[in-house]
Amino acid sequence: MLDHWFPKNISTYGGEIDSVFYLIFYIVGIGFLLGEAAIFYFLIRYRRRDGKKAAFVNGERWSQAAWIIIPTAIVLVLDLWIDFAGAQAYDAIKGEMPVSETIVQVTGKQFNWIINYPGPDGIFGTEDDLTKENDLYVPVNKAVKTILKSEDVIHSFFVPVLRLKQDMVPGRTIEAWFEATETGKYEIACAELCGYGHYTMRGFLHILSEEDYAAWVSENWPDTNSESN
């Protein structure tokens, strides 16, 4: 049942995020159930009855305070466990960026995604760049580096199936990466309010097999073979 909560995961690191989520879910879920059950039990067990006086317990003595100190200590230990697991997953995603041959620049602009490929020379800002709107083509099973920029306000590059979300801040260049494990066409959404057209800021991620990607490149990128010949 839990699997139906998240969108499909086709990212190499998506599993890390999902598993930290489940770790927290089970820890917190069990704690939650125990807590609520204890409250319900107390409410029934200690409901007002004639002739029954409440106990005078003010929790100022250590022996009494232990009733909250021990559960709190357990909370602390579980917190540290969650922190530790989170740190590992975060490091895998945001730590060292893998070397990638595919580099794409995505620029947010009210209310479109401008996708830039460096072209055959691998350098942005040269004549052989390829610019597309809202359609991002990448190869499967390859680390892809995205250079995220914004022209006007803050946007957020969100690909649910990749578990990738990164704000694009005007005036800054922010890098993010992903590696897809399945081919297909998926949606890109803007996750940061960027104006009245925020909800229309939808793009598509086309994940192509190696051959399809090569075909797409040769079909779309400016032909440099003629120059070199």
Partner 1 sequence: MTEQKNAENGHSEELSFWRKYVFSTDHKVVGKQYLFIALFMAILGGVMAYYMRWQLAWPETAVPGAGWIPEPTAFGGIIPPEFYNALTTMHGTIMVFFVGMPFLLGAFGNFLLPLMIGAKDMAFPRLNMMSVWTLFLASLVMIASFFVEGGAASAGWTGYAPLSADPIHTGVTWGLNLWILGLALEFTSFLMGGINFLTTTITMRAPGMTMYRLPLMVWMQITAAVIFMLSVGPLIAGAILLLLDRTVGTGFFIPELGGDPLLWQHLFWFFGHPEVYVVLLPGFGAIMEILPVFSRKPIFAYKTIIWSTIIAGALSFLVWAHHMFVSGMDPRLAMPFSITTILISVPFAVVIFAFMATLWGGSIRFTTPMLFALGTVMTFIVGGATGIFNGSAPVDIFIHDTHFVVAHFHFTLFPDVFLGGFAALYFWFPKMFGRMMNETLGKIHFWVTTIAFNAVFIPMFVLGLGGSMRRVYNPLQYDFLKPMQGINEFITYAAIVLLLGQFIFMFNFFWSMFKGKKAERNPWNATTLEWSVSYPIPHDNFATIPTVYHGPYEYSLPGNKSDWQPQHEENEPVSG
Query: Residue 38: in which H helix or E strand, if any?
Result: helix 14-45
In the complex, what is the shortest distance from the CB of residue 114 to partner 1, in angstroms, rounded to a whole number? 17
Residues of span 29-88 touching partner 1 by CB under 8 A: 31-32, 35-36, 38-39, 42-43, 46-49, 52-60, 64-65, 67-68, 71-72, 75-76, 79, 82-83, 86-87
196 sits near partner 1 (criterion: CB under 8 A): yes
Q: Which is nearer to partner 1, 67 or 215 (CB)?
A: 67
Choice from 98, 197, 220, 223 touching partner 1 (CB under 8 A): 197
121 sits near partner 1 (criterion: CB under 8 A): no
Burial of 126 (0-12, 13-18, 19+ CB in 10 A): exposed
Residues of span 150-189 touching partner 1 by CB under 8 A: 152-154, 156, 158, 160-161, 163-172, 174, 186-187, 189
Site residue total, partner 1 (CB under 8 A): 82
Task: Find the angle CA(116)-CA(159)-CA(178) to the nearest 5 degrees.
Answer: 70
What six digits make up the tokens of 34?
């125990």
Choice from 89, 144, 180, 207 touching partner 1 (CB under 8 A): 89
Enumerate the β-bridge partners of residue 5: none
Reduced to 3 states (helix: H, G, I; strand: E, B; else coil), residue 104 is strand
Question: What pairing do the DSSP bridges indicate for beta strands 143-150 and 102-109?
Answer: parallel
